[in-house]
Amino acid sequence: MTATSHTVDAPLVDGSHTRAALAPDEDAFVVRGPATLTGTVRIGGAKNSALKLFAAALLAPGTSVLANVPGISDTFAMADVVRHLGATVAIEADGAGTHTVTIDVPDQLGEGTTLELAGRLRSSLATFGPLMARMGYAHIAQPGGCNLGSRGVDLHLEGMAALGAEITVGAEHFEARAPRGLVGADYELEYASVGATENLVMAATTARGTTRLRNVAREPEIADLIDFLNGLGARITGAGTPELTIEGVEALTPCRHRVVGDRIEAGTFAVAAAMTGGDVTIEGVDPAHLARPLDRMRAAGVQLRTGADFIRVLPGAQLVAADVATLPYPGFPTDMLAQFQALLSQAQGQSLLTENVYEGRFALIDQMQLMGADITREGHHVVVRGPRALHGAVVRATDLRAGAALVLAGLVAEGETVVRDPFHIDRGYADFLGKLTNLGADVERVGTAAAG
């Protein structure tokens, strides 16, 4: 393998200089380290489930209620998406960083999403399946979200065509039509795409006959979606396996559902505790949903205890190098790779991290180097050599998980770390700074968002 070189600016170590680098009123997270986290943190509902449940609610005219919905910016963006399609959405905070969401769905839905809405949120694509199931027509704008490289919609379109839809693709939108309704089919996905699995399952709920989907994604969030769909009256079996069977029903009716705990948020706090040598109990998550990341943490020397709905990170770990490779669930999640780059920068030895899903995960490397980390890219691998003493710097969140990883790095860095563009973090972590502060971190938000 040939190492890819990176040119980075000189670090800004002194806190007075890091703040001076910000524009007036610029929004940023400021982390003062080093810190040792202790205490208990409760995890909210899974972002990657809740957003899709908003879309799934469109399948059933009437009022559905979602509990344990995370209080993140993507939640409010997805509410705007389903409002655009005709639903009425009420969001009520429960005081714990989560919300109860009431979605009132009309008998007639709008035709599709706009470029403005799709540009804010890739999960807007999840309305494709419900629109086809309900209306037999969808006009969908190409989706946005984090810039993680190529994430096309071909599998969504191919699968919908297998169910009888006629597809037309344009530069900025695509259209699908099934004026006589969708028809059950046997379809095997080329690879286990989460989004395509979700759209096809939702579309098939009211298709005529039986649909069998093979090589489907098996993430816990998909199992949560299937639980919700079955609560609406769908007939779906095989959740958690590579094959789903969907017996089409004539219509669905509303229900109430509690969103599954967010395994990625839980994993992020577990890494934060381990990096800082802390003692933290993480509640509200099934440890089985994090089996591979927890296995890799143990391989890196982290001591853990788990129960039915909690993970405890014990203090005193001597971190050692460990290799990690991302794969579809039940493999190591790509959404945890950035956090592990930060963790393993503090481990003794050389770690090899391999990204097999999204090439955009490598954008973090330059920012970690600014803080003193010894991290280089070699093809689709990341080599991390440690331990390295990190120091405060001005860095930039390039996406949701990279932003969280930089905050974690700031927890062990000497001095003040300023993380620009924290809106990325807002997309996936509810009250991130509040939860860290409650665990003993010295972290604040500055700029217009803090003032507002």
Q: Does 122 appear as a known binding residue?
A: yes
Is 255 an active-site residue? Answer: no
Q: Find out whether 260 and 220 touch, Cβ atoms under 8 Å.
A: yes
Among 1, 45, 22, 2, CA closest to 428 = 45
Q: What are phi and psi of 261, to 5 degrees?
A: -65, 150
Catalytic one of 43, 55, 105, 146 = 146
Q: Find out whether 52 and 198 touch, Cβ atoms under 8 Å.
A: yes
CA distance 247 to 242: 17
CA distance 244 to 238: 5
For 87-99, how does the pLDDT look when each residue is reduced to its tens digit (9 = 90+)? 999 999 987 789 9
Full-model pTM: 0.92
- Order of all β-strands in the sheet with 304-306: 38-42, 279-283, 310-313, 304-306
CA distance 179 to 339: 46
Parallel/antiparallel/unpaired status of strands 137-141 and 173-177? antiparallel
pLDDT of residue 118: 87
Conformation bin of residue 97: beta by default, left when phi > 0, alpha when psi is -120 to 50? left
Among 167, 168, 200, 166, CA closest to 184 = 200
Assign 322 to helix, strand or coil. Answer: coil
Q: Find out whether 32 and 444 touch, Cβ atoms under 8 Å.
A: no
Residues across the chain: 452
Cα torsion angle, 136, 141, 145, 151, sign: positive
Domains and CATH numbers, the chain: 3-43+262-451 (3.65.10.10), 47-258 (3.65.10.10)
Radius of gyration, alpha carbons of the chain: 22
| Token pair in block for residue 398 | 């390039």
For 363-397, how does the pLDDT look when each residue is reduced to its tens digit (9 = 90+)? 899 999 999 999 999 888 999 999 999 999 999 99
Q: Find out whether 253 and 37 touch, Cβ atoms under 8 Å.
A: no
Contacts of 199 (CB under 8 A, 6+ apart): 125, 126, 128, 129, 156, 159, 160
Q: Find out whether 85 and 66 touch, Cβ atoms under 8 Å.
A: no
pLDDT tens per residue across all 452 residues of the chain: 334 333 334 444 444 556 667 887 899 999 999 999 999 999 999 999 999 999 999 999 999 999 999 999 999 999 999 999 999 999 999 877 899 999 999 999 999 998 898 888 888 999 999 999 999 999 998 775 444 333 468 999 999 999 999 999 988 899 999 999 999 999 999 999 999 999 999 999 999 999 999 999 999 999 999 999 999 999 999 999 999 999 999 999 999 999 999 999 999 999 999 999 999 999 999 999 999 999 999 999 999 999 999 999 999 889 999 999 999 999 999 999 999 999 999 999 999 999 988 666 788 999 999 999 999 998 889 999 999 999 999 999 999 999 999 999 999 999 999 999 999 999 999 999 999 999 999 999 998 766 54
CA distance 21 to 398: 18
For 297-312, how does the pLDDT look when each residue is reduced to its tens digit (9 = 90+)? 999 999 999 999 999 9
Helical pair 47-57 and 263-275, crossing angle rounded to 10 deg: 170
pLDDT of residue 5: 37
Q: Find out whether 287 and 269 touch, Cβ atoms under 8 Å.
A: no
Q: Does 312 appear as a known binding residue?
A: no
* Helices (H), ranges, 188-260: 194-204, 220-231
Q: Does 357 appear as a known binding residue?
A: yes
| Residue 15 half-sphere exposure toward CB, CA atoms < 13 A | 10
Q: Does 154 appear as a known binding residue?
A: no
| Residue 332 half-sphere exposure toward CB, CA atoms < 13 A | 20
Q: Does 295 appear as a known binding residue?
A: no
